[in-house]
């Protein structure tokens, strides 16, 4: 499946009502995110599925693929575009078996060895990082931009930079053959997610050229 | 898939080390449980999968089917015999889509209407209850034995009684056309899970005749 990874939004609903959360996601879609990953760690299966369906109504309206973090079963149940598999999640092969070949399976990598293994396992794209410190995940070690660059050159699947990226620091990625960047706080914690997404999309588009 | 639901163990690992938990499960298998459902609500996907594989080594050795609570994705990833879908989990159709037709999909029902809907949705068996108060789940209302009996007669799929059942109270189910009973504490909290399973299996076999 051909996907535009330019501006990959990972959601964070912490501290938001469902209504406010969905409003932020819609503003981000309007602003130009090219993909949305719904990421929930504390919800029951049914709650996660409920929210996934609500988000999918929005992403469908904007023609943006929805990726479900961690849960291949929920990706199937809500007919999302795919699933993102982290280090604490299923193996890539198991996710692929569950979602089939028509859906996206993305995964995370911190090293060239992990990236090559993920590609061999059938991953469609890689999230590489954290490039910078972030408050939305517990990060043990950062991934240097040089390693990100090595990974991009070592694999044939697209890789995106993740972790603490924003308008101010993403310029440091200029020249690195990434397919895009992933952000959480830079959009979800912005007072104006639409404008934040617009500016980030323009900045990343410039980076990629 | 033909399954023996006579004595259906639902696990509870709360307060146990992994080693002690697996020892209890093995003792229960040796004692005669006919099916094991692994039920974990707090673990990450990878932790749940790790434990599922460890339990499956035991159940495979005893030729007992392993059912995974809630997580159809983990059932696929560890190649369990099936998945049990509760009220807070995926819809039955979604679980069926994920695990395919060769695996078991069980679900819970409290009323004849829920039971008929579950059967129509493709469930292979029903867990009906709670018959008695239980400490292992938050129960809002109990299911009278008369309703359990109505459910058994309304559906063609097998139904088992769940909730607070033990050697002392299971005799009350005599004459109800159940396929078996499900227990947690009566085995998992026993000092001697093997003996507890043996006695329960004998008692339930007697009930079913």
CA distance B1 to A97: 21
On whether residue A1 sits in a domain, the answer given is no
A46/B88 touch (CB, cutoff 8 Å), yes or no:
yes
b/e map B12-48, b = 16+ CB within 10 Å? bbeeeeeeebbebbbbbbbbbbbbbbbbbeebebbeb
Mean pLDDT across B130-143:
82
On whether residue B169 sits in a domain, the answer given is yes
The residue in chain B having the minimum alpha-carbon distance to the alpha carbon of residue A47 is B88
On whether residue A182 sits in a domain, the answer given is yes
Predicted pLDDT at A1 = 56
Percent of chain A topping pLDDT 70:
98
CA distance B3 to B166: 22
On whether residue B2 sits in a domain, the answer given is no
Q: Is the pLDDT score of B139 beyond 70? A: no
Range of the domain at B57: 7-208
On whether residue B201 sits in a domain, the answer given is yes
**Band of residue A37 on the pLDDT scale cut at 50, 70, 90:** very high
Q: Is the pLDDT score of B178 beyond 70? A: yes
Q: Establish whether B41 is an annotated binding residue.
A: yes
CA distance A116 to A101: 19
Q: Is the pLDDT score of B140 beyond 90? A: no
More confidently predicted of B63 and A134: B63
The residue in chain A having the minimum alpha-carbon distance to the alpha carbon of residue B74 is A90
Q: Compute the nearest-CA separation of B84 from chain A (Å).
A: 13
Q: What is the pLDDT of residues A12-32, one digit of tens each?
A: 999 999 999 999 999 999 999
Give the CATH number for residue B174: 3.20.20.70
Q: E-strand spans in chain A?
A: 7-10, 35-38, 66-69, 82-85, 104-109, 125-128, 159-161, 180-183
CB pairs under 8 A between A and B: 62
Predicted pLDDT at A88 = 82
For residue B94, the chain A residues in CB contact (below 8 A) are 49, 73, 76-77
User: What is the CA angle A4-A61-A20, rounded to 5?
Assistant: 100
pTM of the model: 0.90
On whether residue B50 sits in a domain, the answer given is yes
A98/B90 touch (CB, cutoff 8 Å), yes or no:
no
On whether residue B1 sits in a domain, the answer given is no
B45/A76 touch (CB, cutoff 8 Å), yes or no:
no
Q: Compute the nearest-CA separation of A137 from chain B (Å).
A: 15
For residue B49, the chain A residues in CB contact (below 8 A) are 90, 94
**Band of residue A2 on the pLDDT scale cut at 50, 70, 90:** confident
Which residues of A contribute to the annotated binding site for Mg(2+)?
70, 89
Note the ipTM here.
Answer: 0.85
Mean pLDDT across B112-131:
95
Q: Is the pLDDT score of A142 beyond 60? A: yes
Q: Supply the Cα-derived Rg of chain B in whole angstroms.
A: 16
On whether residue A2 sits in a domain, the answer given is no
Least-confidence region, from A102-106, A147-151, A205-209, B154-158: A205-209
Q: Is the pLDDT score of B179 beyond 70? A: yes
Q: What is the pLDDT of residues A67-99, one digit of tens each?
A: 999 999 999 999 999 999 997 889 999 999 999
Q: Establish whether B59 is an annotated binding residue.
A: no
CA distance A122 to A125: 9
Taking all residues of chain B, what is their mean pLDDT, rounded to a whole number?
95
Coil, strand, or helix at residue A116?
A: helix
Domain count, chain A: 1
User: What is the CA angle A122-B71-B179, rounded to 5?
Assistant: 135
Which residues of A contribute to the annotated binding site?
37-41, 69-70, 89, 108, 134-137, 164, 184-185
B45/A74 touch (CB, cutoff 8 Å), yes or no:
no
């Amino acid at each position: 499946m051909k996907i535009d990874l330019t501006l990959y939004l990972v959601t964070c609903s912490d501290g938001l009502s469902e209504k406010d959360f969905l409003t932020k996601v819609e503003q981000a879609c309007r602003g130009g995110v090219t993909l949305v990953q719904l990421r929930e760690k504390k919800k029951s299966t049914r709650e996660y599925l409920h929210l996934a369906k609500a988000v999918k109504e929005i992403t469908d309206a904007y023609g943006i693929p929805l990726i479900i973090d961690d849960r291949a079963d929920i990706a199937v149940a809500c007919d999302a575009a795919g699933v993102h598999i982290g280090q604490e999640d299923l193996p890539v092969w198991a996710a692929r078996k569950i979602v089939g070949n028509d859906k996206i399976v993305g995964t995370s990598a911190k090293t060239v060895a992990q990236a090559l293994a993920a590609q061999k396992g059938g991953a469609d794209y890689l999230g590489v990082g954290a490039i910078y410190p972030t408050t939305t995940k517990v990060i043990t070690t950062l991934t240097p931009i040089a390693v990100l660059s090595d990974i991009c050159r070592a694999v044939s699947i697209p890789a995106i930079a993740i972790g603490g990226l924003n308008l101010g620091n993403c310029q440091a990625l200029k020249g690195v053959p990434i397919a895009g960047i992933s952000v959480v706080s830079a959009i979800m914690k912005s007072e104006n997610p639409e404008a934040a997404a617009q500016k980030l999309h323009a900045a990343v588009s410039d980076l990629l050229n």
